[in-house]
Copies of this chain bind each other. A is one copy, B any other.
Amino acid sequence: MTDKNEMHQKRQQRLKEAVDERISKANEQRGILIVNTGNGKGKTTAAFGTLTRALGHNKKGGVVQFIKGLWENGEKNLLEPLGVEFHVMATGFTWETQDKASDTLACQEVWRKAKQMLANSQLDLVILDEITYMITYGYLDLEELLIALKNRPNHQTVIITGRACHRDIIELADTVTEMRPIKHAFDAGIKAQKGIDW
């Protein structure tokens, strides 16, 4: 074996030891609260990728989308027929509607569905997509969300997505990732595209 190969093997051995040690220390088993936040791409798609993974292991999932447009929705098209319960806030993007009273009503309506999901022990994974904006805009009470999250079934994992997530939700979360934009095709004049951006 060459020296270079030996060095590679030693480095991989150390990596293996570090990974094995971390695995042996991780003993707790329960559902977790995941937050995907930040200004970059991938917050919602990472949530749906995790749902795909869960469904592939015969787990059950539910989705509430709080601020999606009214256009056709690729992930809904694919996942709803596969048994995923889906609710989408009726008014679309709030900057299209510009009416706080009707947005609040629309939010409260899907929030009722979300609360039912957070109390449903049949569900292994619940996605609350873009719910952070509901707190920011004052359409949804932070305390009510925190209580529903804390009281959910022990095995249930929840994923919250959206920019500027409130610090109390970050505090409660187990895994938090900030999606940081390094470059964005849209800024370079490339159109948002069906099947990629929605």
Which residues of A does B touch, CB under 8 Å? Answer: 5, 8-9, 12-13, 15-16, 19, 22-23, 25-30, 32, 34-38, 40-57, 59, 72-79, 82, 94-101, 124-125, 137, 157, 170, 173-186, 188-196, 198
List the number of copies, as a whole number: 2
Q: Is the CB of A125 within 8 A of B174?
A: no
Bound Cα distance A45, B50 (Å): 6
Chain B: which residue is nearest A184 at the CB level?
B175
Chain B: which residue is nearest A188 at the CB level?
B174
Q: Is the CB of B42 within 8 A of A179?
A: yes
A1 to chain B, nearest CB (A): 9
Given A54-B195, A191-B26, A179 and B179 contact (CB-CB distance below 8 Å) = yes
Bound Cα distance A19, B46 (Å): 23
Contact of A49 among B5, B44, B57 (CB under 8 A): B44
Chain B residues with Cβ below 8 Å from A30 are: 190
A98 to chain B, nearest CB (A): 4
Chain B residues with Cβ below 8 Å from A55 are: 74, 78
Q: Is the CB of B9 within 8 A of A99?
A: yes
A190 to chain B, nearest CB (A): 5
Q: Is the CB of A75 within 8 A of B99?
A: no
Chain B residues with Cβ below 8 Å from A157 are: 193, 196
A180 to chain B, nearest CB (A): 4
Q: Is the CB of B170 within 8 A of A95?
A: no
Bound Cα distance A50, B193 (Å): 11
